[in-house]
Chain A
Amino acid sequence: MTTASIALPPLRLTRLETFWASLVLPSFAGASFAEGEAGFTIGPTEVDYLEGLRRFMAKASDKACLGIRFAFLLAITTPMWLGGRMKGFASLTPTERSELLDRMSRHRIFFVRELCLLLKLIACLAIFRTPGTRERTDYDGPEPARRAAGMRRSLPVLSRSIPHESGAFPTGEQSPTQKDSEPPAASARMTAGGAR
């Protein structure tokens, strides 16, 4: 029996495509913020986008890899077909690049939007693979404090107290065998093995 390991092949892109990737992927999060401004910033060399891309492409389907290559071609030529200017992507400012990618993500043609989303996802996978980035987003919240409180919590918006005795949400049980859109009885509770 073998266990998992991640020994991946080299990036499956040409040198030109690799250059495009190194221009496009950082452009989703290319803005910098002034002191005191709230924004998620990434240092210029903090994220290894190409390593994220390599890991994604190593296991992605053949069709997706083809799509990624086409997506880079589309993205790199957005100044012409989307911006209406005979300019290269590399010669644009970070803000201009972001604007074009933003427009690409809202394009009326499905596959243009989807390919842009695919690139954005790859950029995000690379960003959040980088140590320290996740912690800068407030995604997890104050976990140590929550653990210290015995893992009991409720959101500020949930001002009503939640009974913990039953170890279940204070809501009506609905068994899968029950008629499904009938509102559950107000007093009903899920019990252990509640799907029965």
Chain B
Amino acid sequence: MTDTLTAAKKALGGAETGFSLRIAAARLRDVALIPPIIIILIIGAVVSPAFLTRNNLQDVLVSMSWVALLVLAEGIILLTGKMDLSLESTVGLAPGVAAWLTLPKGINHGAHLVPSAWAVPIALAVGVLVGVVNGVLVVWLGLNAFIVTLGMLITLRGLLTGISSGQTFFGMGKSMMYLGTANWLGIPAPIWVFVIAYAVAIFALRYLRAGRALYAVGGNAEAARAAGIRTDRMIFGALVLGSLLAALAGIMLSGHLASVASSQGNGAIFTVFAAAVIGGVSLNGGKGSVFGALTGVLLLFLVQNVLTFAGVSGEWFDFLDGAVILAVLVITRLLSGKATD
């Protein structure tokens, strides 16, 4: 076992001596999931000729697009050393409130208070509002982020169930449907949205001082403060941005499904955390990259897709999903020689 480990470490380039190799090893964690993704692609191609087709891959990307946005949101928040569990409820609540306020009374149990053109701005505003509440509780009142956002997760879900009477909103206006259904240059809009969001985030986190400050805050808040970074403001901003992205994810998902179920987003937070962590984002903050997190989502969704092609029944998906997460954690632990944190 020890021999295999050393061999694996050597293969990874993480030799014991030499700074340049250590730098390489540190960067390598961001792309650690690329080889497994390639392997899954090869397996998929062998399992079914329909797997490596444009249509199928496009479907995979569309179905993961809203989760990808949530992972991006969570990744940014995790970088600051905090967390937000309530993202999954915001995914439902934001479009839910928009639908409730715009839909006609009667069969659609809407409140019909504003014209349907307001739907998207309302949904985004709900996202910002949720983020502000989280920020006030976590940053101003100094409450623990885990328990605050757990409370918010339950509260927001309950709020959506309350306004919708536990039913599903149908028949929303055109603007709410647009993002989930449009095609830009022949590619579905949800794919554009998450790819652009990641591209912007990757750039900002690497090349802007504010982006680097997120890493500093999560890595050592004291030192960041000493360097003149407004740590409270950074965390507040990350929480608001996270909720805003969750609202955007919710709009995309609702548009795609042409409805808002009162359970929309329910349970997604586990996949989101799993994707971020196997992608190399540290739960303690300050470590990881959103690119790594993206590879995490991609891996999880590709595995599911291949399993479908392999004829595995849906009842086994949760089990296999969990197994993949655990396997990736164990493998990266053994290869890096360091505990995941």
A and B interact physically: no
Interface residue ranges, A against B (CB under 8 Å): none
